[in-house]
Amino acid sequence: MSRRLPPLNPLRAFEAAARHGSLTKAAGELNVTHGAVSHQIRALEATLKVKLLERAGARLKLTPQGAELLPAVTGAFESIASATARMTRPTSSGKLTVTCVPALLSLWLMPRLGGFMAKYPGISLTFNASNDPRDIHAPDIDVCLLYGDGSWTDCWLKRWSTLELFPVVSPTLINNRPIRSVRDLADHVLLHADEGREWHTWLAAADALDIKPLQRHGMADARLATEAAVHGHGVALGDSVTASSMLAKGQLVTPFNLSVPAVDAFYVVCRNEVKSAPIAQVFIDWLFAEREELPARTEQAISGQIAIRKRRGAKTVPAE
C-alpha cells in the first residue's frame, strides 16, 4: 500500500505554530515571515481537508483533528533530529580505547596528543601501552597501533610507517667514552629491545658482527632501551619515528651515518566493525595525517659524523 504523506514544509509550519501557539513565534523559529507560516498551514489544511488550528483570543488553539495529528508530527521530527544527531555526534564525542606500542605511545603519540584533544574535545581517550596482537579482538579495545609483520587476520589493518634503525647514545656517555669508529662499540654496553635480532641486522650491515661489546642488557621494549640510552647506560638502536624528538632536543646523538630498514613496521589495526564507526575513523585519519608531518627522508634524523659504508649484499635478518 502506498504511503501518501503531506508535504514537509507545511508540516513543519503546523508543528511549530501548534507548539508555540503563535504564528509569529513559529515564523521566528523557522526564519520565515508570518505570512509564509500562515500560507503553509492553510495549504496543509487544504491537503487534508480538515481544520487544524483556530484562534482562541491572542493564541492559536488545536482543533480535535489538529490535536490528533500533532503528536505524530512532533514524534516524527524528534526521531529525525535524533537520528541526525547519532550520525554526527560520534565524530566529535564519545569514548575510544587505544592500545599502542609503548615506545610509540610515549615518545611519539603523547607529545602530539594535544592537537587531537583540542580538535575533538568531546572524545574521551583511554590508552594502554601494549604490543599484543590479542588486543585486536578484545571487546574493550577499539584501535591498536602495533609493531609487527602485519600478518594478523580477520581484521582491518593498514601499514602506518616503516622504520630505519640506527645506534643512539647520550652526548654525556659519548664524551666520556668516545666512539670514533664502529670498532669502539666493543667498549660500550649494547641495549637490546628484543632478543638481539635488530642489533645483529645493523652490525651485519656495518660488517662488524665479530665485535664483542662490553656488556649486553635486554629491555622489555624499545621505550625502555631508548630511555636507558638517554640516561647514559649504553648504546641503543633508535628508529626514525620514536627517536626523532630526542635527537632534535640533543638528548641523544647518532654516532654513525648508517641505518638499516627494520623487518617489521607500525600498523594501525582494528576489528572490521570498529573501522566503520565514525569516532574510530576520526582517530585513524588523525594518526595518518600526523604521520605525514614526519620527515620524508631518514637522513634528516641520522646525522652521524662517522661514515660507514654498508657491507655489499648485507640483508635484513628475517624475523624468527
Query: Domain of 170: which CATH number?
Result: 3.40.190.290
Would you state the pLDDT for residue 121?
A: 93
Residues 208 and 290 occupy one common structural domain: yes
Residue 84 lies in a domain: yes
Please provide the average confidence, as pLDDT, over all residues in the chain.
87
Q: Which of 24-38, 165-179, 256-270 has the lowest mean pLDDT?
A: 24-38
pTM (2 d.p.): 0.66
Asked if residue 295 belongs to a domain, the reply is yes
Count structural domains, the chain.
2
The pLDDT confidence band at residue 85, using thresholds 50, 70 and 90, is: low
Counting residues of the chain whose pLDDT is more than 70, the rounded percentage is: 87
If asked whether residues 214 and 311 sit together in one domain, one would say yes
Other CB atoms within 10 A of residue 160 CB:
20
272-302: pLDDT as tens digits: 999 989 999 999 999 999 998 765 444 445 5
User: Is 3 inside a domain boundary?
Assistant: no
Q: Same domain for 68 and 103? A: no
Calculate mean pLDDT across residues 140-152.
96
| Residue 99 main-chain phi, psi, to 5 deg | -105, 145
Mean pLDDT for the stretch of residues 303-315: 60
Same domain membership, residue 68 and residue 131: no
pLDDT band at 319 (very low <50, low <70, confident <90, very high): very low
Residue 22 confidence (pLDDT) above 60: yes
Name, of 45-59, 86-100, 161-175, the range with top average pLDDT.
161-175
Grid cell digits, residue 156: 582491518
Calpha distance 48→50 (Å, rounded): 5
* Residue-level pLDDT at 101: 96
Which range marks the domain in which residue 313 is found?
A: 98-320
The predicted pLDDT at position 317 comes to: 41
What whole-number distance in Å separates Cα of residue 32 and Cα of residue 26?
A: 8
- Would you say residue 318 has pLDDT above 90? no
Higher pLDDT, 91 or 118: 118
Rounded CA separation 209/5 (Å) = 80
Asked if 173 and 154 sit in the same domain, the reply is: yes
Residues 242 and 291 grouped into a single domain: yes
Is 2 part of any domain? no
- Tell me the pLDDT tens digit for each residue of 171-193: 999 999 999 999 999 999 999 99
Residue 320 in this model has a pLDDT that exceeds 60: no
Residue 1 included in any domain = no
Residue 132's CB is within 10 A of a number of other CB atoms, namely 12
269 and 292 share one domain: yes
Give the C-alpha separation, 208 to 199, whole Å: 11
Cβ–Cβ under 8 Å, residues 243 and 252? yes
> What's the average model confidence in pLDDT over 234-250?
91
Q: What is the pLDDT of residue 314?
A: 52
pLDDT of residue 299: 45
The pLDDT, as a whole number, for residue 88 is 56
* 50 pLDDT higher than 50: yes
Do 134 and 229 have their domain in common? Answer: yes
250 Rama sector, left if φ>0, alpha if ψ -120 to 50, beta otherwise: left
Considering the domain boundaries, does residue 127 fall inside one?
A: yes
Write the pLDDT tens digit of every residue in 152-165.
999 999 999 999 99
- Domain boundary, last residue among 31, 62, 89: 89
Contacts of 303 by beta carbon, 8 Å cutoff, 6+ apart: 247, 254, 257
Is residue 102 domain-shared with residue 57, that is, in the same domain? no
Between residues 125 and 6, which one has the greater pLDDT? 125
- Output 309 or 61, whichever has higher pLDDT: 61
Q: Assess whether 85 and 111 both reside in one domain.
A: no
Any domain includes 77: yes
CATH number reported for the structural domain that contains residue 38 in this entry: 1.10.10.10
By C-alpha distance, which of 266, 202, 261 is closest to 235? Answer: 202
Give dist(CA 77, CA 225) in Å, integer.
59
- Do 85 and 102 lie in one domain? The reply is no
pLDDT, position 311: 58
In a domain, 299, yes or no: yes
Domain boundary among 59, 89, 119: 89
Residue 300 pLDDT: 47
49: left (phi over 0), alpha (psi -120 to 50) or beta: left
pLDDT over threshold 70, residue 106: yes
- What pLDDT was estimated at residue 78? 79
Read off the pLDDT band of 196 (50, 70, 90): confident
Average pLDDT score over residue span 240-253: 90
Predicted confidence (pLDDT) at residue 82 exceeds the cutoff of 80: no
**Residues 138 and 279 both lie in one domain:** yes
Residue 10 near residue 37 (C-beta atoms within 8 A): no
Q: Which residue has cell 583511554?
A: 126
- Domain boundary among the residues 65, 89, 113 is at 89
